Every structure is written in C-alpha cells, then in structure tokens.
Amino acid sequence: MGGIFSVLYGATVYVLFLGTFLYAIAFVGNLPVPKTIDSGEAGAFGPALLINTLLLGLFAVQHSVMARPAFKRWWTKFVPWPIERTTYVLLASLTLILLYWQWRPMPQPIWSVTHPAGVAVLHAIFWTGWAMVLVSTFLINHFELFGLRQVWARLRGHKLPAPVFKTPLFYKRVRHPIYLGFLLAFWATPTMTAGHLLFAIATTGYILIGIQLEERDLIGLFGDQYRRYRSQVGMLLPRLGRSAKEPAAEERPSLTLKQG
C-alpha cells in the first residue's frame, strides 16, 4: 500500500508541476491566461516592488535550501526517501503558484522593440529557451528529476543506481543548459516592463548563486571528474572549439520554473 500511495502521490504532483511549468511560459510571455507578469491593474510602485521581491525571495530560498544535501539528510528523517523529491517538487510548485497569484504588475516600460524582425527574433529566442529547458531535463533524467522514478522504484522494491557522470548533447558545450534556457526565456521579450525586469534580474541572480551551490555539491559528489569538466566546458556560454572530453555529472537543477 505504501508503494501504491507513493506512485499516486508522485503522479499527482507531477501533473501539478506540469501545469505550473506550462503556466510559467504563459506568465512570463504574457500569453492569454488569467494572470501574467504584466497583466492586471497597476498599484503603487513601492508596495508592488516590495511584494514581488518577497515572492521571488521566497521561491529562491525554498528552491535552494531544500536542494542542498545537508537539508536532504535532515529532511529525510521525517519524509521517506522515495517521496522526498516529489515533496520538493510539490512545495516548489506551490511557491510558484503563490507567485503567479500574488504578483503585482509593474507596467512602467523600460524598453520596447517594435520592428517586426526584432520582435520575431526575440520570440524565437524565448521559445528556444523554453525548449532547451525541457529537452535538457530529458537529456539527464526527467522522471527522476521530478520524483517519478523514485516512487516507481519504491513500488517495485528496487533501489536507484548511483548517479552517472555524463555529458549528453547540450552538456558537452555548457555545464548548465537548463539555466541557460531559463535566462533566454526570461530576458527575450519585445517589451521589457519594470516588473519583467525585476523578475529577470532576480532570477538571474538566483541562477548565478544556485550554480555556485550546485557545483560545490557536484564536486563533493564527483571530485576531480567534475573539476576537469568545469575546466573544459563553459558555465552558461560555450567555449569556442572546446567541448567535454569525458562524461560529466548529471545536473540536478533547483527550478521549478528549474524544478530541482
């Protein structure tokens, strides 16, 4: 019964995550959904700035703290290991939903691109970024990243194998293609408002800090293998004429808009 419950829990949370992820695309891209980053009636700038900053900070803290090995060791004293990742994904999704719900529009324009060619290029970059995020999760292990593999293994009474050091496709050129995809998606917009700029700056800062924390964990896990990989491959931008010469670690990003 415990295994069946774990699978049902994992599947339900995965569906919630999937909806949250798809809504994130619409939220950031101002697509036709009930609430987007720029929709709604604008209020006073100061309170909106404070509330939005607190929402972004809450997401960053939840996402980063719960992803750290030390927290996981403590957390799994109370939450069974097979559903630890699922619970992380659940809380990350709920934090994002809170952000969508309580986000205050700050529509003051910062810049605007009106030329059709420029608009088309920015839209192409936006969709390329989201596609890179999704593809990159499957290049590592999408279903483990979002907790389904763990609950399935619990149902079957199996143990998951140890993490494998590898560099599939994008990972041969950049160490963090998921984060790169998010940055492309968050910054590529024809009309940059104050609210969108706040979102882009805050998430960029979070990503840069998160990368340092993740790479520290990966060095602790894989040692010199990851150090050599880091010396060969760029963090977010490819190094011309260079790629990984040996397998590299599975990236386990914390965003759920990199969930994990």
pLDDT tens digits, 189-248: 999 999 999 999 999 999 999 999 999 999 988 899 999 999 999 999 998 766 565 444
CB of 68 within 8 A of CB of 213?
yes
Q: How confident is the model at residue 158 (pLDDT cuts 50, 70, 90)?
A: confident
pLDDT at 244: 60
Distant-in-sequence contacts of 244-249, Cβ < 8 A, 24+ apart: 244/167, 244/171, 244/172, 246/165, 246/167, 247/164, 247/165, 247/166, 247/167, 248/165, 248/166, 248/167, 248/171, 248/175, 249/163, 249/165, 249/166, 249/218, 249/221, 249/222, 249/225
Q: Of 86, 255, 252, nearest to 181 (Cα)?
A: 255
Distance CA(194)–CA(109), nearest Å, equals: 6
Structure tokens at 69: 């090995």
Structure tokens at 169: 């496709």
pLDDT tens digits, 84-95: 999 999 999 999
CB of 68 within 8 A of CB of 239?
no
pLDDT at 251: 40
Share of the chain above pLDDT 90, in %: 67
Asked if the model's pLDDT at residue 140 lies above 50, the reply is yes
pLDDT at 209: 93
**In angstroms, what CA-CA distances link 99 with 13, 135, 166, 254?**
18, 25, 34, 16
